[in-house]
């Protein structure tokens, strides 16, 4: 019999529905609540991506950390049964502590005593700008709601140390940029039933840009999601400055230069519009380092572990991937890839993430199918 006693969070006046805080107001097995952090140095030598997720209707909590250093990707993953203490953001060796909500968080990965060369870190994340709501994210497959997410994004800095391969990598304020994203709602996790909706409403194409950028005095968020025809289903171009109203910079249009024979972006120009005088603005993008989320981080179409999947109690896993060998990660190109990048706008240089995925047909880019690549 299930334990239906109150949990610690039920002490607080934060309920939205007449349920315990251990329960969500939907029976959808795909209910989720999770976060992702991106931290990298401004030369692109190290790119660390980490996150944690809760999946209340399948009773799972999991977390991951992936570090790209050269052509080696170091991954730590952990999964366990979801407990009652939702304030405890810890799974195996991975822990996130909220020291001050929306301002300061501590990110930790404990060392593996049996493998001193494996990844560990202790980092403090500090906000540089207020958190920004992203557009309400909805996707349907046929008439079924397959994804509905509430999200916010935030840019900041970080300090601490990363240890890997016997080396200490100092994470130094001013030399590293850190962004994060929080989201919750309903999002597909493995194990979904198959049938007519998948057969008759398969994806012809998907094109995605998600790009938080931190400058010294401003924060810019750009999002564009399009289907195979180029029809836009999600759009965002918002500039955040201290003491000023947020500014919307129009309908972002990206010109992406791909590496020949791939859909791997090397640089891009995102065209924006100044709302005051309607003059065009150009956001330049130079990719510094890339990390595919399907390798180590548990995002589809990963074939060794995906978020929300039951691995048993107390499961953890550490491994290394050779990113120079495509045979070691054959599905990486069919998932979203996060690129640490240097950006330029109005004569200023900033740093952030150029997250991009382009699969199947995308008419505006000239891609005709899943096997189509840049010339």
pLDDT in tens, 128-165: 999 999 999 988 888 888 889 999 999 999 999 999 99
Residue 146: predicted pLDDT? 87
Judge whether residue 1 has pLDDT over 80. no
The CA distances from residue 226 to 73, 233, 284, in Å, are: 30, 6, 21
Average pLDDT rounded to a whole number, residues 38-55:
98
Entry field: residues in the chain: 375
pLDDT per residue as tens digits for the range 65-98: 999 999 999 999 999 999 999 999 999 999 999 9
Instruction: Name which of 270, 273, 279 is nearest 355 in CA terms.
Output: 270
Judge whether residue 100 has pLDDT over 80. yes
Distance of CA 236 to the CA centre of its chain: 16
Using a 10 angstrom Cβ sphere, with 0-12 exposed, 13-18 middle and 19 or more buried, the burial of residue 7 is: middle
Residue 200: predicted pLDDT? 74
Judge whether residue 2 has pLDDT over 60. no
Catalogue the long-range contacts made by 370-373 (C-beta closer than 8 Å, 24 or more residues apart): 370/334, 373/258, 373/261, 373/262, 373/263
Phi, psi dihedral angles at 128 (to 5 degrees): -105, -20
Reduce the DSSP state of residue 149 to 3 states and report it: strand
The CA distances from residue 52 to 30, 293, 364, in Å, are: 16, 14, 35
pLDDT per residue as tens digits for the range 255-308: 999 999 999 999 999 999 998 888 999 999 999 999 999 999 999 999 899 999
- The tokens for 278 are 């309607």
Q: What is the percentage of the chain residues whose pLDDT exceeds 70?
A: 97
Instruction: Name which of 269, 238, 225, 253 is nearest 358 in CA terms.
Output: 225
CB 359 within 8 A of CB 350: no
Query: What is the side-by-side strand order in the sheet with 280-292?
Result: 247-248, 232-240, 219-227, 205-214, 348-360, 337-345, 280-292, 265-273, 253-258
What residues contact residue 66 under an 8 Å CB cut-off, 6+ apart? 48, 49, 50, 73, 74, 75, 76, 291, 295, 296, 297
């Amino acid at each position: 019999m299930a334990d239906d006693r109150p949990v610690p969070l039920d002490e607080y006046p934060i309920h939205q529905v007449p349920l315990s805080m251990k329960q969500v107001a939907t029976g959808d097995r795909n209910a989720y609540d999770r976060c992702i952090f991106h931290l990298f140095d401004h030369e692109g030598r190290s790119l660390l991506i980490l996150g944690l997720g809760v999946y209340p209707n399948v009773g799972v909590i999991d977390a991951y950390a992936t570090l790209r250093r050269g052509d080696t990707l170091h991954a730590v993953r952990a999964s366990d049964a979801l407990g009652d203490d939702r304030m405890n953001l810890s799974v195996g060796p991975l822990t996130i502590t909220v020291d001050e909500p929306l301002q300061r968080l501590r990110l930790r990965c404990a060392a593996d005593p049996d493998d001193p060369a494996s990844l560990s870190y202790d980092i403090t994340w500090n906000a540089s700008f207020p958190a920004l709501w992203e557009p309400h994210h909805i996707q349907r497959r046929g008439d079924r709601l397959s994804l509905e997410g509430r999200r916010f994004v935030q840019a900041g800095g970080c300090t601490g140390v990363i240890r890997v391969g016997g080396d200490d990598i100092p994470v130094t304020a001013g030399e590293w940029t850190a962004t994060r994203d929080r989201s919750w709602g309903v999002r597909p996790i493995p194990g979904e039933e198959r049938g007519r909706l998948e057969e008759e409403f398969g994806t012809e194409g998907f094109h995605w840009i998600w790009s938080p950028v931190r400058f010294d005095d401003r924060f810019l968020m750009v999002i564009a999601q399009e289907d195979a025809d180029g029809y836009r289903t999600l759009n965002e171009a918002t500039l955040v400055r201290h003491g000023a109203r947020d500014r919307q910079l129009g309908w972002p249009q990206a010109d992406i230069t791909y590496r020949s024979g791939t859909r791997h972006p090397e640089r891009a120009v995102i065209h924006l519009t100044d709302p005051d005088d309607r003059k065009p603005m150009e956001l330049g993008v130079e990719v510094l380092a890339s990390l595919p989320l399907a390798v180590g981080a548990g995002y589809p179409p990963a074939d060794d572990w995906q978020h929300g999947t039951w691995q048993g109690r107390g499961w953890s896993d550490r491994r290394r991937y050779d990113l120079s060998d495509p045979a070691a990660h054959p599905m990486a190109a069919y998932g979203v890839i996060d690129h640490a990048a240097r950006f330029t706008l109005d004569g200023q240089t900033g740093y952030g993430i150029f997250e991009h995925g382009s699969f199947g047909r995308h008419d505006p880019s000239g891609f005709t199918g899943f096997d189509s690549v840049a010339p």
